[in-house]
Chain A
Amino acid sequence: MTVKRPIPCSLYDIQGMQDWLDEMALQGLFFQNFTRRNDAANFLVDAPRPVRYRLDPVGRSKQEDAKRKEPYAQMGWRFADAQPRLYYIFSCEDPEAPELHSDPQTLGYALDSAIRAQIRSFGLMWLIVALLLAASLFLFRKSLLWELLLMEQPRSIVQMACSAVLLLICEIAQGFQIMQLVKARRRLEQGLPMKAGRRWDRPRFLTVYLCIFCPIYLVSNLLVPRYLPEVCGLGERELSRSWPTLVQTEGTGPRPLAEEPEADGYLKINSSRAVPVQEYASIDWRVTYLDPDTGALTRPYTLWTGIQYDQARSSRAARLLYQLRLDAEARQLKKALDYNNPLSQVTGLQPWEELDWPGLDRLETVRFRRGGQDHWLFAALRGRDVLIVDYSGFASLEDCLPLFLASMDAPAL
């Protein structure tokens, strides 16, 4: 019959492991092997008797190490199990057989290979982590910067940060374990015996998982919202600026409106430490009309304005945000060229134009057609303010731009 017992000491504590396995034998539990997760060991239950268990550090190559098993067996030491890149465990029931390692200094030398193997694996792990991190930062730098600036999906940021911290803690803990081996080697080199480390009630892997990982993910799922922006109908929330109405924008063009129509739309409002004001207003007015040629009710033409206004805490943050928003708009327009839906497909996309406009740090514009109607879009940066307006109607960009800039100038509501 075999039983499983949690390992009460560090796997890197050579003397501690030897002492524990010897004690278990005196209780009638004879070491068989480690469990898959290395948090426990399997023991064969038999009549208690003294059996010595000794750890033999790994050598330079697995092939050379494998050749040692037979001569060891001839001298009374039977192979039991191994910890990869660390040590082999041998047991001996013959009390007359010499100790596996009868010279502490030679054992110190033998530990060198194990320490080197551990450092190699530790270094490789750091390298992989660093490469993965660098690759992720490079590939997702824009979305990461976007999230850090705007905090639209804070849960993913919190979970990513927690995972990075946990990974770091695991790596540091591994470093400390290797230091334990280095200390043991120093003692052995001086001809001193190794000292057993502290014992503790090792929690099972599942317990560690439940105690560390679950709270992090549960807490973040319960306390940190997945999506932070508030989306509501027009007029349900007050914006920080009073943007031009449809009457005002259309008033600058060839088809002025007599009165303010009842427009549809929505607001998306968010706030973050770097960008305290993030407001998006989508305002549209759909009109169906009789085609003068056919006399039939034809597809609606739309007056539509999408206004994205952000006020960052600093002009540096505003510059970063401006570039991110501009890139996102450009990406979105390019993508929409391939849409199949004629109402959302973009056609006739003109190249972006960079314009000089008094009082603005940057101004870029683009013209295109969507759903059969002319659109223009401008992105403006001034100090800490970023304004992007996407417009479809009859007024021109040059006439509307001053209206929007004047609204941006007006004191906050």
Chain B
Amino acid sequence: MSGREKGPLTEPMYYVLMAFLDREMCGTEIGAFVERKTAGRVRLGPGTLYTLLAKFQEEGLLEETGVEGRKRTYQITPKGRDAFAEELARLRACVADGEEETR
């Protein structure tokens, strides 16, 4: 099953999907995860983060699992996992091509 029909993911999109691979998360946890994972190289602004959450929900890559007061948690869907896997394979291929050429 194809994960995503709208072209490659941008770096923030890639890391947001990555954040959900192991567990459900809420917005602030995602931001912290991405910053930690990239050692501060990628910082998600709130506009970017909440636009991506809405967009991924709309595309069926994420789904909301609970609302606690104002805190909302999300989890990745099988389609979201496929989209992440697709992007990972694309990035691996890019890296492999680059390494092959610079060897």
Our pick among B11, B28, B50, B54 for the contact of A103 (Cβ within 8 Å) is B11
A71 neighbours in B (Cβ, 8 Å):
27-28, 46, 50, 70
Give complex CA distance A101, B12 in Å: 11
In the complex, are the beta carbons of B55 and A54 less than 8 A apart? no
What would be 16 A-B contacts, judged by CB atoms less than 8 Å apart?
A71-B27, A74-B28, A75-B31, A98-B44, A98-B45, A100-B46, A101-B45, A101-B47, A101-B48, A103-B10, A103-B45, A103-B48, A106-B48, A107-B48, A109-B51, A191-B10
Give complex CA distance A106, B46 in Å: 11
Q: Give the segment of A59-67, A145-153, A236-244, A375-383 that binds chain B.
A: A59-67
Give complex CA distance A388, B51 in Å: 73
Contact flags B8-43 to A (C-beta < 8 A → 1, else 0):
001111000000000000011001000000000011
B70 neighbours in A (Cβ, 8 Å):
67, 70-71
Given contacts A67-B70, A103-B10, A105-B10, contact A110 B51 (CB under 8 A): yes
CB of B88 within 8 Å of the partner chain:
no
Give complex CA distance A59, B54 in Å: 9
B11 neighbours in A (Cβ, 8 Å):
103
Give complex CA distance A64, B55 in Å: 13
A101 neighbours in B (Cβ, 8 Å):
45, 47-48, 51
B residues with CB within 8 A of A? 10-13, 27-28, 31, 42-48, 50-52, 54-55, 70
Which residue of B is nearest A75, CB measured?
Answer: B46
**Interface of B (DSSP majority class):** helix
A331 neighbours in B (Cβ, 8 Å):
none
Question: How distant is A91 from chain B, measured CB to nearest CB, in Å?
Answer: 13
Give complex CA distance A181, B44 in Å: 23
CB of A30 within 8 Å of the partner chain:
no
In the complex, are the beta carbons of B55 and A100 less than 8 A apart? no
Q: Which 5 A-B pairs have the closest CB atoms?
A: A98-B43, A102-B45, A101-B47, A100-B47, A103-B12
Our pick among B31, B42, B43, B51 for the contact of A106 (Cβ within 8 Å) is B51
In the complex, are the beta carbons of B54 and A106 less than 8 A apart? no
In the complex, are the beta carbons of B50 and A68 less than 8 A apart? yes
Contact flags A77-119 to B (C-beta < 8 A → 1, else 0):
1000000000000100000001111110111011000000000
In the complex, are the beta carbons of A106 and B28 less than 8 A apart? no
Which residue of B is nearest A64, CB measured?
Answer: B54
A77 neighbours in B (Cβ, 8 Å):
46-47
Contact flags A118-135 to B (C-beta < 8 A → 1, else 0):
000000000000000000
Which residue of A is nearest B35, CB measured?
Answer: A98
B51 neighbours in A (Cβ, 8 Å):
59, 101, 106-107, 109-110
Give complex CA distance A106, B9 in Å: 10
Give complex CA distance A56, B54 in Å: 14
CB of A176 within 8 Å of the partner chain:
no
Give complex CA distance A111, B46 in Å: 15
In the complex, are the beta carbons of A110 and B47 less than 8 A apart? yes
Question: How distant is B54 from chain A, measured CB to nearest CB, in Å?
Answer: 7
Question: How distant is A316 from chain B, measured CB to nearest CB, in Å?
Answer: 58
B54 neighbours in A (Cβ, 8 Å):
59-60, 64
Question: How distant is B72 from chain A, measured CB to nearest CB, in Å?
Answer: 8
CB of A209 within 8 Å of the partner chain:
no
Q: Which of A56, A59, A98 has the most CB of B within 10 A?
A: A98
CB of A357 within 8 Å of the partner chain:
no
Give complex CA distance A54, B54 in Å: 19
Give complex CA distance A71, B70 in Å: 9
CB of A72 within 8 Å of the partner chain:
yes
Give complex CA distance A71, B13 in Å: 19
In the complex, are the beta carbons of B28 and A102 less than 8 A apart? no
Question: How distant is A334 from chain B, measured CB to nearest CB, in Å?
Answer: 63
B27 neighbours in A (Cβ, 8 Å):
71
Given contacts A59-B54, A74-B28, A109-B51, contact A68 B46 (CB under 8 A): yes
B50 neighbours in A (Cβ, 8 Å):
68, 71-72
Question: How distant is A78 from chain B, measured CB to nearest CB, in Å?
Answer: 11
A90 neighbours in B (Cβ, 8 Å):
47
Question: How distant is B71 from chain A, measured CB to nearest CB, in Å?
Answer: 9
A54 neighbours in B (Cβ, 8 Å):
47
A191 neighbours in B (Cβ, 8 Å):
10
In the complex, are the beta carbons of B44 and A102 less than 8 A apart? yes
Which residue of A is nearest B58, CB measured?
Answer: A60
Give complex CA distance A191, B11 in Å: 11
B42 neighbours in A (Cβ, 8 Å):
102
A67 neighbours in B (Cβ, 8 Å):
70
In the complex, are the beta carbons of B55 and A102 less than 8 A apart? no
A64 neighbours in B (Cβ, 8 Å):
54
